[in-house]
Amino acid sequence: MNRTELNKYKAMLEARRAELAGGSRSRDEIRIEKTPDALDEVQLAGERELAIRNLDREANLLRNVRAALARIEDGSYGVCLHCEEEIKPKRLEAVPWTAYCIRCQEAADRHEFESAETLDAILADAA
């Protein structure tokens, strides 16, 4: 991958990182609201649940974005972490923080091997 391409992905990743790091918007959605109406309680609990899940997803994404930026720094960006083949530019355009080529991502999604993300989740659960 040449410098120009690398810089393009770097800019995309940095923009995403800034957006995610400033994500106080969704955090504001998580607040415990008291309501006398049981139905509202259920609905609010559901909304809170959803907001927490979104935060989880954003935290995961932010971690992936940071890892991708680190790979740009150390020169390993754009190479699949699993099979070490180059990741297709079309995939990087769509998902610049991806660590895997489409084939390995699909294998990881089917849990055929432990992706870094899965490992992170396991480590977080163990902590």
CB atoms within 10 A of CB 2: 7
3-state DSSP assignment of residue 79: strand
Member of 13, 65, 69, 80 binding Zn ion (CB under 5 A): 80
- Least spacing, CB of residue 116 vs Zn ion, in Å: 13
Three-state DSSP at 30 gives coil
Give the CA distances from residue 98 to residues 18, 19, 45, 52, 57, in Å, rounded to whole numbers and listed in that order: 17, 17, 33, 23, 14
> Does residue 104 belong to the site contacting Zn ion (CB under 5 A)?
yes
* Cβ nearer to Zn ion, comparing 13 with 104: 104
CB closer to Zn ion, 29 vs 85? 85
Does 92 contact Zn ion by CB under 5 A? no
- Which of 13, 101 has the CB closer to Zn ion? 101
CA separation for the pair 57, 49 (Å, rounded): 12
99 interacts with Zn ion by CB under 5 A: no
Do residues 97 and 13 make contact, with C-beta atoms less than 8 angstroms apart?
yes
Residue 41 CB, nearest distance to Zn ion (Å)? 47
Contact 105, 123 (CB under 8 A): no
Of the candidates 83, 119, 122, 124, which one interacts with Zn ion according to CB under 5 A?
83
Interface residues toward Zn ion, by CB under 5 A: 80, 82-83, 101, 104
